[in-house]
Amino acid sequence: MSFLAWPLETNRIRRDVTNNTFGTVRRNADGTKRDHQGWDLVATPLTACYAIAEGVIRKSENHSPKGHGKLVILEFVFQGRTLFALYSHLSLVSVVRGTKVSQGEVIAYTGNSGNASGMAGEDQHLHFEVRTELDAGRGLAGRVDPKTLYGRAPREYTIVESHGQKRLLNPSGTGLKINAGDMRRW
């Protein structure tokens, strides 16, 4: 697989803030930092999630009301490495363990399951992470920054990728870049 598709049609870090990106970016009550294991991409519930690459579904589980809630993990190969893409806080999942999927196929719909259950408005999101191990450990262990795969995090602009017309519009898989200033707010 030479490029990764984006997990959503419109991809933007929730509230455009660092603590919704990957790394030791969040703070505890005492001011010490803690990890966020992936990207939070803003999405109203029932937004379609796409397979970022062709591969096989390795997990399709419901951990609600805790943690990731409803989740899917897709195993895929990118640049010679076997990796695992986790999509969580889902509402509906259209694949089971063992399902083979093509790149750009709809595999699930976003939601507020697990510990995202209290979220509303602009905080509703897809939690998306990329792992080097199916059962990654605590903190950042067994995970990679999605930015290292996509080349950038979608902050201060939205990556729009029309999955239905991907091959027509987007042979490089890099998406269209729309600056925040170009977006009209009603």
State the nearest-atom distance from the C-beta of 95 to Zn ion, in Å: 21
Three-class secondary structure of residue 15 per DSSP? helix
Closest Cα to residue 153, out of 60, 36, 75, 74?
A: 36
Nearer to Zn ion, 40 or 161 (CB): 40
Residue type for position 127:
H
State the nearest-atom distance from the C-beta of 136 to Zn ion, in Å: 14
Q: Which segment (10-18, 69-77, 106-114, 124-132) binds Zn ion by CB under 5 A?
A: 124-132
Residue 37 to residue 87: CA distance in whole angstroms: 12
Q: Which segment (9-17, 121-129, 144-152, 160-168) binds Zn ion by CB under 5 A?
A: 121-129
127 binds Zn ion (CB under 5 A): yes
State the nearest-atom distance from the C-beta of 185 to Zn ion, in Å: 25
Q: What is the arrangement of strands in the sheet containing 176-179, beginning at the earlier edge strand?
A: 10-11, 157-160, 176-179
136-to-131, 132, 144 alpha-carbon distances in Å: 7, 7, 11
State the nearest-atom distance from the C-beta of 14 to Zn ion, in Å: 8
89 binds Zn ion (CB under 5 A): no
40, 72, 73, 170: residue in contact with Zn ion (rule CB under 5 A): 40
Nearer to Zn ion, 93 or 105 (CB): 93
State the nearest-atom distance from the C-beta of 170 to Zn ion, in Å: 26
HSE-up of residue 5 (Cα within 13 Å, Cβ side): 27
81: buried, middle or exposed (CB in 10 Å: 19+, 13-18, 0-12)? exposed
Q: Which residue is nearest to Zn ion (CB)?
A: 127
129 binds Zn ion (CB under 5 A): no
Using CB under 5 A as the criterion, which residues of the chain lie in contact with Zn ion when the complex forms?
A: 40, 127
